[in-house]
Amino acid sequence: MRNQLVAIELSAVNRHTPIVKTLLLPDEAATRGFARALALAQGLANAFVALHGDLGTGKTTLVRHLLEGLGVTGRIKSPTYAVVESYELPAFNIWHFDFYRFNDPQEWEEAGFRDIFASSGLKLAEWPEKAATLLPPADIDLHLTTHNTSESARMATLTANTPLGAGLLEALA
């Protein structure tokens, strides 16, 4: 009986252990390559990926390469002013948020953001910290930081918080 209880506890721990991956992206071409690989990962079509990082670290750049990898054609605008830009692909919808200027929780309901996060499709969010109390947990938290090896080098740290996120990171291996 005692052993059985221990086994249950351990499996509960394992299920919640986040999977973390760290990548060095020496230049924008490497960021593009990573974004293209992520675009091919099984399950991305229903994921929520939160993009963290200081101003100018490359969150929008990564999203542009990701969306191009998914087949979005035409101009991919940064949603800094509009808060969200949406894209319709034949197979699924994509919403690219930038919450940097988001400061009205009422807008969350009025603009339909709650409905977007409750529906299927790919959600990408820059500056998720600015809407932290409203956002659901991300399948993947992606942190971008600069790196001292060169001006164009970035470190990407990906943390999976859900089974969907864990599957995505495994697919990236």
Give residues in contact with ligand ATP (CB under 6 A): 25, 27-28, 31, 53, 55-61, 98, 126, 152, 154
What is the 3-state composition of the chain as percent helix, strand, coil, each rounded to the nearest 5? Answer: 40, 25, 35
Q: How big is the site for Mg ion, counted in residues (CB under 5 A)? A: 3
Using the structure block, give the residue that is written with the tokens 């990926």. Answer: 49
Half-sphere exposure of 39 (CA within 13 A, CB side): 19
Of 57 and 159, nearer to ligand ATP (C-beta) is 57
CB of 101 to ligand ATP, least distance (A): 10
CB of 98 to Mg ion, least distance (A): 6
DSSP assignment of 148-170: TT-TT-EEEEEEE-SHHHHHHHH
Q: Which does 27 bind (CB under 5 to 8 A by kind): Mg ion, ligand ATP, none?
A: ligand ATP
60 forms part of the interface with Mg ion (CB under 5 A): yes
